[in-house]
Structure 1
């Protein structure tokens, strides 16, 4: 249990570093270009490392891999779109409601209702419907909720894909994601903006944001129950908000910090309930 737990926390640290680097590059090649770099380079790296073609796939694994890869690619694109419009800590606080939903569906104890209510209260404090929330771009908020839905599906189908030996599942999943994300990035990106410097940064983003985290998360998904995975994932908004403050200078209001704390506590409580049941 210790190794999967450490793997998940290592994944969060790597993702946040990659997100900070990526956000600084948005004005240069755009969200679609950054996402294409992240997914495309990650697919190449993972295919080279794990060489998934060496082991034949079972027919029942193909469907899980296709869904897993599709939601992985869409989750990357939507969360980057959210990062472009709202602080990354707030975006991830909204996104983590995906794992919270998975944890809620895994456990139906009375205290789960209280956890859900706490998360809703946190969202109320966070979103523009609350006058004290501060100004948030509603489109950015919508993108973050879309990423949350993808994260929920990622956990479910990632758990199923993790049964495939070695890193075959994550490598093939990233390949599926690249099949529609990379063409999208090519269509939206000005070729003149692609310089050797940008290529190197894109490779760094891919390693930090996808190649390393998805390998670590596959290890975590294999060794942790879905509910427990959701509990540990609940720390992501706080970690990301701190990273946004230290690296990007994104200052949040006291109300927004309180909202993030409510969502983190709700996710952790609900996931612990799922684990104990």
Structure 2
């Protein structure tokens, strides 16, 4: 297979797996609370990331990480996985998966908003329109198709879902200063985040019960949402960046398939009837993300 085909296959495989995680969150939360789910998932993710580093022959490189990079990873670990996934799983615990998943998908818009004060980037009229279109979708989904009423199905759940996008965007903005390779950095983030998650679980919850359904679900979340798919996506982008790979934008656009495919899994696995307002609102969010990608800044970055 040539690089273009490999990039496409790795990209499609990643999108397919990512599309199942919203259902996995919701199904596992039937057996574990958000903190218990995160504790088990984080441990599974650490094992998966360690295995990836071992296969790549980079596990020994952890000894050469500088104290400064270690300190940065510790701070980033407080954001992701600790704070980000606690807030995200709390949102999924309160909201139907078909609402939490599209709302979390607005993280790209949040990233663009925070890039203005934190990275000094400018926002044009196209960016402003993209933000307005995306958050119109948020209102449509959260009000179940009655945006004029401004009556949200679960105000706290909506706030948590949108708040998780702020944490995720901050994590990626601060992560731009890291000099570590992405998998090593993510492994250290999770290693430093795990004690915080354990402490939060002991204080605010209790150790998870040894229920097979909950533990298997958490392992799936940890391995595929937090671990393996990250390496798969990096591999897809690496092949796409090669001269014969077809370009990273072509592969990156595959991510727009994920939220719609996710609704299919949510319907058949979780048993939720997908509301027309969810599809309409998600359409707004995707349109806003697409409009943002067409902005001058993003066109320059893709060249």
> Please, what TM-score do these two structures have when normalized by structure 1?
0.81
SS state at 1:28 partner: coil
**2:131 matched to 1:147?**
no
Which of 70, 74, 78 is matched with 1:66 structurally?
Answer: 74
SS state at 1:194 partner: coil
**2:125 matched to 1:110?**
yes
Residues 83 and 117 of structure 1: is their aligned pair in 2 closer, same or farther, counting only changes over 3 Å? same
CA distance in 1, matches of 2:75, 2:249: 21
User: What is the CA RMSD across the aligned residues, in angstroms?
Assistant: 3.5
Maintained 8 Å contact 2:130/2:288: yes
126-135 or 243-252: which moved more?
Answer: 126-135
Unmatched 5+ stretches in structure 2: 116-120, 242-246
Which of 21, 44, 61 is matched with 1:54 structurally?
Answer: 61
Residues 30 and 97 of structure 1: is their aligned pair in 2 closer, same or farther, counting only changes over 3 Å? same
**Structure 1, residues 84-141: CA drift from partner, whole Å, max 9, x if none?**
1112232122222221232454563432222122123222322338257886211111
Maintained 8 Å contact 1:82/1:91: yes
- Larger-Rg structure: 2
> Please, what TM-score do these two structures have when normalized by structure 2?
0.75
**2:184 matched to 1:164?**
no
SS state at 1:29 partner: coil
Partner of 1:248: 270
Which of 125, 139, 147 is matched with 1:124 structurally?
Answer: 139
Which of 20, 25, 45 is matched with 1:22 structurally?
Answer: 25
Partner of 1:204: 220
CA distance in 2, matches of 1:153, 1:236: 22
- Displacement of 1:31 in angstroms is 1.5
- Displacement of 1:205 in angstroms is 2.7
Partner of 2:45: 42
- Displacement of 1:220 in angstroms is 6.8
CA distance in 1, matches of 2:169, 2:285: 16
Equivalent residue runs for 1:81-100 within 5 Å: 81-100=90-109
Maintained 8 Å contact 2:36/2:208: no
Maintained 8 Å contact 2:110/2:165: no
SS state at 2:273 partner: coil
